[in-house]
Amino acid sequence: MVGDYPKSPKRRRDEDEDVVSPRKRSTSHTPPNGSPSFRLAERPRRYSREPSKDDERYYRDRRRPRSRSCSGTRSPSRSHSGSKSPSHHATPPPPKPTQLHYKQSMILRGHKKGVSSVNFSPDGRWIASSSADCTIKIWDATTGALEHTLEGHLAGVSTIAWSPDSKILASGSDDKSIRLWDVSTGLAHPTPFLGHHNYVYALAFSPKGNMLVSGSYDEAVFLWDVRAARVMRSLPAHSDPVGGVDFVCDGTLITSCSHDGLIRVWDTSTGQCLRTLVHEDNAPVTSVVFSPNGKYVLAWTLDNCIRLWNYIEGKGKCVKTYQGHRNEKFSLAGAFGTYGTEPPYEYAFIASGSEDGEIVLWDVSTKNVLQRLGGGHTDAVLSVDTHPTEKLIVSGGMDRTVRVWRETAAPPESGLEAVESTTVDGNGYDPDILPPNAFANT
């Protein structure tokens, strides 16, 4: 029932929800249309048998859909292996940093309820934020100025997704609809995507932008034709609400996750379930994203863990578990990022929000916490994203704010950082710098 589930921005899972919607168990972890004979090894991409330190390079590209090449690097020079130059006197690599030094640089205010999702545009120019106040806001990623407030949904907005060319923004709402917005005008496309029977909770564009995948509280995953605004395929995905969906870098696979504790990998062209991943604890899975080269799946679960899955080998296995944040009630989402000196000496980190108001950054390889960003949000941080090219992080949370964090050249406690925090309100001007009537004649 629509009314039986809690409301956005990101619904909590508590005892009352368990009474209304008990988690169901399926006797089989593979849907009826699964194809046991179809092996993931038959994918066009060739995979190594065992993950190695060199595999860290697959994080060089940022999250979807900024770079959909499965090469795992933005350019040939960004090899993590650090191959030797022709010179016999190559300089030794710099030491790997053990800490990061991000500091809050902007606070974007304007939402009237909790912020459910934040995302940088693939070209890095914009920040989009969605909220339980039924609106989406588009901000200038450099200045924080408010470009558009998108209004049209009749209920809270839980999820947003950028098209690969940064021209279209998709949004999913508790009103069961998906809308596409023209970023240049701020206007909605005339035809909404209708078909889900409950809250639309997760969205992702395909690398080419011609398809959109959605996950809903109706337990279904839909694959949409963007131009025709119609459902191409419905996947019998899960036995509980779907929390997250994503396309792999070349668009041939889709992953989905659910409160039923399962992560599934689907063939985009056939709709067949190729792999089902489940941890022995079977904790509800609230968000999922492919690694940039498509070799791994990163998943957030309601047991204070984030897990990295190798879904290629055997039946799939969990290769890394990241802990140190709090996540027991809300659906949190995060992103991959890079740190270090100039290429090829860059390393990968994972950024995630926490229900205690912090943002936690982990080194992908060692699982060490590189930094805790505290003193900013005053309530649960629901969504975190990283800039496609710059050392920037954006976060949104239950305190109704969107916050931008910038890497500094020195530890914050040294007093040498040059980043100053600026508050920008929802009218698009900085009250500390510009008077309220500064844009009266524009």
At 220-267, the pLDDT tens digits run 999 999 999 999 999 988 999 999 999 999 999 999 999 999 999 999
C-alpha triplet 98, 418, 365: angle, nearest 5°: 20
* 3-state secondary structure (DSSP) of residue 15: helix
Rg of the chain in Å (alpha carbons): 21
Query: Above pLDDT 90, what percent of the chain?
Result: 65
User: What does the pLDDT look like over 342-354, one tens digit per residue?
Assistant: 667 788 899 999 9
What pLDDT is stored for residue 89 in this prediction?
Answer: 58
pLDDT band at 56 (very low <50, low <70, confident <90, very high): very low
pLDDT band at 439 (very low <50, low <70, confident <90, very high): very low
The tokens of 152 are what? Answer: 């049209």
For residue 21, give the nearest of 36, 46, 3, 35 by alpha carbon.
3
CB 68 within 8 A of CB 53: no
As a whole number, mean pLDDT of residues 322-331 equals 97
Q: What's the half-sphere exposure (Cβ side, CA atoms, 13 Å) at 221? A: 33
* Model confidence, pTM: 0.78
As a whole number, mean pLDDT of residues 9-38 equals 44
| Total count of residues recorded for the chain | 442
Query: Above pLDDT 70, what percent of the chain?
Result: 73
C-alpha triplet 381, 382, 387: angle, nearest 5°: 90
What pLDDT is stored for residue 231 in this prediction?
Answer: 96
Q: How far is CA 252 from CA 19, 46, 69, 271, 347, in A?
A: 38, 14, 12, 10, 27
As a whole number, mean pLDDT of residues 281-286 equals 94
As a whole number, mean pLDDT of residues 265-274 equals 95
Instruction: For residues 181 and 169, give the distance between their C-alpha atoms in angstroms, rounded to a whole number.
Output: 5
As a whole number, mean pLDDT of residues 144-172 equals 97
What pLDDT is stored for residue 3 in this prediction?
Answer: 42
Element (H, E) at 20: helix 15-20
User: What does the pLDDT look like over 390-416, one tens digit per residue?
Assistant: 999 999 999 999 999 999 875 545 433
Mean pLDDT in the chain? Answer: 81
For CA atoms 181, 182, 187, 189, the dihedral sign is negative
Q: Does position 174 have pLDDT exceeding 80, yes or no?
A: yes
Phi, psi of 227 (to 5 degrees): -65, -40
Q: Does position 435 have pLDDT exceeding 70, yes or no?
A: no
pLDDT band at 340 (very low <50, low <70, confident <90, very high): confident
As a whole number, mean pLDDT of residues 32-52 equals 41
Element (H, E) at 362: strand 359-363
CB 309 within 8 A of CB 327: no
Read out DSSP for 402-438? EEEEEE-SS-GGGT------EEE-TTSS-TTTS-TTT
For CA atoms 152, 183, 254, 294, the dihedral sign is negative
Instruction: For residues 243 and 220, give the distance between their C-alpha atoms in angstroms, rounded to a whole number.
Output: 10
Q: Does position 25 have pLDDT exceeding 70, yes or no?
A: no
Which residues have a Cβ under 8 Å from the Cβ of 262 and sit 6 or more positions away?
29, 238, 276, 277, 278, 285
What pLDDT is stored for residue 426 in this prediction?
Answer: 63
pLDDT band at 421 (very low <50, low <70, confident <90, very high): low
C-alpha triplet 404, 56, 49: angle, nearest 5°: 145
Q: Does domain 68-75+97-436 have CATH number 2.130.10.10?
A: yes
pLDDT band at 57 (very low <50, low <70, confident <90, very high): very low
User: What does the pLDDT look like over 90-134, one tens digit per residue?
Assistant: 678 788 889 999 999 999 999 999 999 999 999 999 999 999 999
